[in-house]
Amino acid sequence: MGNGVFASRIRKLRMDRGLTMERLSKDVKVSRSAVAMWESNGTVPRDDLLIKLSKYFGVSIDYLLGNEKMEDKGPESERLQYIQRSLGKLDETRLEKAEQMLSVMFDDIFDDEEGTDDI
């Protein structure tokens, strides 16, 4: 038995970000048919993939599984989603260049993020 909430949330998150099933499958390193099964049957993936999906979409595992509602974060969230959709359309080479440019422009922010791994 599948999880209909999981299916609809994965589909909505993917579509809200302008991602194809193919792109999502490549980004999280699964087959396209796995993504299709998540969205059509509500097949819940292994724990390691749930963690990867929650990080990828910036939501909790509880949200993905239907145990909590996602708060609307307003315009700031919409702006971040726009940026994420745009970056999702880049090929790997351009994505790496974008990341390099951002890290140069905002090195103080990127340095702070790297330091959190030590905690």
Domain 4-65: CATH superfamily, name plus number: lambda repressor-like DNA-binding domains (1.10.260.40)
Give the other-Cβ count within 10 Å of 16's Cβ.
13
Ranges of each domain in the chain: 4-65, 75-118
**C-alpha distances in Å from residue 24, one per residue of 38, 57, 67, 118:** 12, 10, 23, 29
Nearest to 21 by CA among 46, 31, 6: 31
Give pLDDT tens digits along the chain (119 positions).
568 899 999 999 999 989 999 999 999 999 999 999 999 998 999 999 999 999 898 888 988 998 876 554 555 667 777 787 778 778 889 888 988 888 888 887 766 544 444 43
* Single-letter amino acid code for the residue at 16: D
Torsion angles phi and psi, residue 91, rounded to 5:
-75, 170
